[in-house]
Chain A
Amino acid sequence: MTAPGAMQESKKTEPVTSLAVAIDQVHQSFGTHRVLDGVSLSVASGKTLAVLGRSGTGKSVLLRMVIGLQKPDAGSVRILGQDLNGLTLDELGEIRKRTGFLFQHAALYDSLTVEDNVAFPLDHHRKGMTAAERSERVNTLLAEVGIEGSLKKMPSELSGGMQKRVGLARALALNPEILLLDEPTAGLDPIGSGEIDDLVLKLKEERHMSSIVVTHDMHSAKTIADRLVLLDKGHVVIEGTFDDLKRSDNDFVRLFLKQS
């Protein structure tokens, strides 16, 4: 939903054939603090949406809602055509198998090696896999995110950027149709950020993967996203392409772009 008085700068005019994710009028409060106040947005199949905004504006909360980690106080979230409301944990699991999620701090299992972290979804959902197939799949995934030769390392032995890559490899393990990325380039050097951007673009082109990327990195958002959404005070301030944002005369949008 657009904030009262705020501009919905650019409504997408072309018809959307299928939606990977549709968020409708979600509200979320923590105590008296209202984080999301009637936010609606959608991601078309095969497209990438970047969610921007200041810290604490509910971007990550929104992403957690999409994967079912956070249940909205009101509103609905549909992913791959299925309403998440009322699903059991196991029913939600079937949708999560088709969705990859990269946490802001990677959230690697600290008692497992890199190899076992990446193979975790495979070990639980591809039980017919042989050891050789498992190993080959892990190597392929790690090569895809630019890490090789660290199979037996523990997460604590990796830099923050490498942890994030391993987290991304894990998110891709089950060949998801949707990829949800929480600050994928935060803490990475410019080259590392660029590599992650390239990977997201490659996944979109080669696998027609839909993505939602929560980020502060405007350069990254401009590079990988088809559309961008700017949140402020629980509302969508603007939604559109990067050029739409650039053309906006909304003060907040202009300030955000200027400071980015």
Chain B
Amino acid sequence: MIGATVTESTGITPASAGKPAATASVSPLRPIMIALEWFGNLGSFFWQVVQAGVTPPYEWRELIRQMDEVGARSLSLVVMAGAAIGVVVSLEARYSLAHFGAKSLFPATLVYSVIEIMGPIITGLVVSGRVGAGIGAELASMKVTEQIDAIEVSAVNPYRLLAAPRILACIVMLPLLTLAADASALLTGWATQAMVEPLSFHQFINDGFYGATLNAFLPPTFKTAVYGLIIGLIACFHGMRTHGGAAGVGRAATNSVVLGSLFVILADVVLVKFILAVFP
């Protein structure tokens, strides 16, 4: 399913809306203040979404629609990106391993590098680009045409109807898309190797997953749920608090992608350390 003053009641009026451009000299602390304000507003927005999302009525139909939008409609893109990564990692790994005389480690190298490193981050970045831009632009367009205000005056909580299902859909679908990207990468990685020298898929899987435990593969896959939270939250935040017509829509879409991708990468740094500490 489903403006430039906006709703004080939803708390999504940009603090700067309607203020004149600053003419005085800019304080060197201003970027820090802007960043702190951004984080504060994001935190407040997140809290509103959580409050709305955990209390009935639940928007199941919208959640299912968003899961289709985020998951099914991103699948082909993620599978293609995974396939390309599989080929690249396969070519690079084969060359490097041959250089050190460790070609027998190829299956394990490919499996671990795809599932632990490349699959999650590539999926996060691809989804951030497609879904983040989509959510940011859609909500921003609704905002500047007063459709979000119309939802509100219809006594429907826009955080519950719009933000919560989109964020939850991203959280749920990212790990599943990561599995699809991993499978695609492993398949093309194996196929690339098999074209150079004989290697049965059965042997590739046996060697690749030899001695592997769930602890090695589940945390890297499920950390993408955090990427989903970041992508959905930032896109909804920028979409629902934009202002300024078509330019505002463009700004929201751009910010959703750029900041979403940036924070996915930064989250990866933190999550890798966390996973290594908790699942050594």
Contacts and interface: CB of A to CB of B under 8 A. Distances in A.
Contact of B2 (A61, A94, A109): A109
B155 A110 contact: no
Contacts of B155: 92-94, 96-97, 121, 124-125, 174
A111 B8 contact: no
Contacts of A70: 5, 7-9
Contacts of A31: 18-20
Nearest to A94: B155
Interface in B135-193: 141-142, 145-147, 149-157, 159
- Indicate the size class of the contact surface on chain B: 20 to 34
A121 B146 contact: no
B149 A103 contact: yes
Contacts of B57: 124, 127
Nearest to B153: A101
Interface string A200-235: 000000000000000000000000000000000000
B18 A68 contact: no
Q: Is the interface of B mostly helix, strand, loop or mixed?
A: loop
B12 to A, nearest CB: 11
Nearest to A71: B8
Given A107-B145, A109-B147, A110-B145, A69 B157 contact: no
Instruction: Report the interface size class on chain A.
Output: 35 or more
B145 A69 contact: no
B109 interface: no
A121 B156 CA distance: 8
B19 A71 contact: no
Contact of A124 (B3, B19, B142, B156): B156
Contact of A33 (B10, B18, B147, B157): B18
B143 to A, nearest CB: 11
A70 to B, nearest CB: 6
A89 B6 CA distance: 14
Contact of A92 (B9, B18, B142, B151): B9
10 contacts: A31-B19, A64-B149, A69-B153, A92-B155, A93-B156, A96-B152, A96-B154, A103-B146, A109-B147, A120-B156
Given A96-B153, A174-B155, 12 more contacts: A32-B20, A69-B152, A71-B8, A89-B10, A93-B157, A101-B153, A108-B147, A116-B1, A120-B154, A120-B156, A125-B155, A170-B150
Interface of B: 1-3, 5-10, 17-20, 52, 55, 57, 141-142, 145-147, 149-157, 159
